[in-house]
Amino acid sequence: MRFSLIYEAQVEDASPAGERAMFADILEQSLLAEELGFDVVWAVEHTALTHYAHMSAPETFLAYLAGRTTRIGLGHGVVCLPPQMNHPVKVAERIATLDVLSGGRVHFGMGKGATQQEAGTFGYELEALPPMIAESMHLIPRLFVEDEVEHHGEFIDLPSRPVYPKPLQDPHPPLYQACTGTESLLDAAARGIGALVLGFGGPGEVAAKNKAYRRAFAERRPEDQVGFAPNEHLAALCPAVVLDDGVEARRIGLRGQRFFLEAIAHWASDGATPLPDPSSWQEGTAVTADGTEVVATRIGGELVTIDFSDPGQSLLNPNHAYGTVDDCLGYVEQLFEAGADEILFLNQMGTVPQWAMLETIRNIGEHVIPRFR
């Protein structure tokens, strides 16, 4: 199993100063992750999504990280492929260059973006993107491998051209697709590429998606293969705040999860729901009549009191790996049993403080990863 970090580059303070601090924090976390044996740092790509994701140029972030590290993998999770946003020739050139300079450490994920806010920035309607993305997905691996490529498709027209450099990994870096629903998951399997399962659903949902993915991967048709090296791989999101103080970890984790969900809900609803305002949130801990300490918070406008001693409680699966090292070990074990090949730890959620993220990475690196290795 691989153990990785994934970054949206979320910010509570969206000012230039807040962004500078956030990127400095992410770099510090990533360097610690390399030191502690994590396998990959994944960076998303989003445009114009205030608070939710300020990782708009992952190729620049990952190139900088490559120069500061020697071992850890560099994951595009994912490059958005609308042609006017990222033309396939430029994508191939950037990915190959990073692969060469990093010594073959690139993992290349592909997708379309999450919202109309992003698609509209480049003149597209979100629902019109899937066939464009499919065309780019099939074209880019050819640019990695073939000496000259000529392509005349529905959305991309390319006269015969050589594209340089070629990637270091042979025949190219491993390929993945962002999968937020069953349809995209089955697409990834049919294309013979890895699935980055991004969602808060928890082990039960991961198990169902794993079953569907493995079956579709086994039944895929050779003519649908994307790229020249099939990659059967399912990576599962694992929101995590892992501290010595388990109740505090759960409070911080739920607060970060709320920020994440409210921020994306704002953009997914075209602004119909407000951006998160953490200063207005009422939350904390309480003690029940029997002495059990619980966390109380509001998610989606509803006050929720979560007793973490009761495994039956769930709302958008709020448990996750929020808690102590033992809590994290138990949750990761569930994801492993559900079929995950890689754990994508998500702790950089807007309101999570840097000290908690660093402690989380250290606890995972020193206590969780060694138990599974």
> Which residue bears the tokens 């659903």?
201
User: CA triplet 281, 287, 293: central angle to 5 degrees?
Assistant: 85
State if pTM tops 0.95. no
Nearest to 335 by CA among 235, 261, 254, 253: 235
User: CA triplet 37, 39, 196: central angle to 5 degrees?
Assistant: 150
Look at residue 317 in the predicted model and tell me its pLDDT: 57
**SS3 call for 245:** coil
Pairing of strands 149-152, 194-197: unpaired
Look at residue 320 in the predicted model and tell me its pLDDT: 85
Q: Which helix (H) or strand (E) holds 72?
A: none
Look at residue 56 in the predicted model and tell me its pLDDT: 98
- 34: phi then psi, degrees, rounded to nearest 5: -60, -45
Domain 2-242+321-372 class in CATH: alpha beta
Nearest to 260 by CA among 275, 248, 273: 275
Look at residue 316 in the predicted model and tell me its pLDDT: 47
- Residue spans of the domains in the chain: they are 2-242+321-372, 246-306
> Which residue bears the tokens 């205030």?
50
pLDDT tens, the chain, 373 aa long: 999 999 999 999 999 999 999 999 999 999 999 999 999 999 999 999 999 999 999 999 999 999 999 999 999 999 999 999 999 999 999 999 999 999 999 999 999 998 999 999 999 999 999 999 999 999 999 999 999 999 999 999 999 999 999 999 999 999 999 998 899 999 999 999 999 998 888 899 999 999 999 999 999 999 999 999 999 999 999 999 999 999 899 999 989 998 998 899 899 889 988 999 999 887 655 545 455 544 454 444 444 444 444 444 433 455 689 999 999 999 999 999 999 999 999 999 999 999 999 999 999 999 999 999 8
Buried residues in 187-214 as b, exposed as e (16+ CB within 10 A): bbbbbbbbbbbbebbbbeebbebbeebe
Q: CA 306 to CA 15: how far, in whole Å?
A: 33
Look at residue 311 in the predicted model and tell me its pLDDT: 44
CA distances, 216 to each of 42, 137, 202, 212, 232 (Å): 25, 18, 21, 6, 11
CA distances, 32 to each of 37, 41, 59, 371 (Å): 9, 11, 20, 19
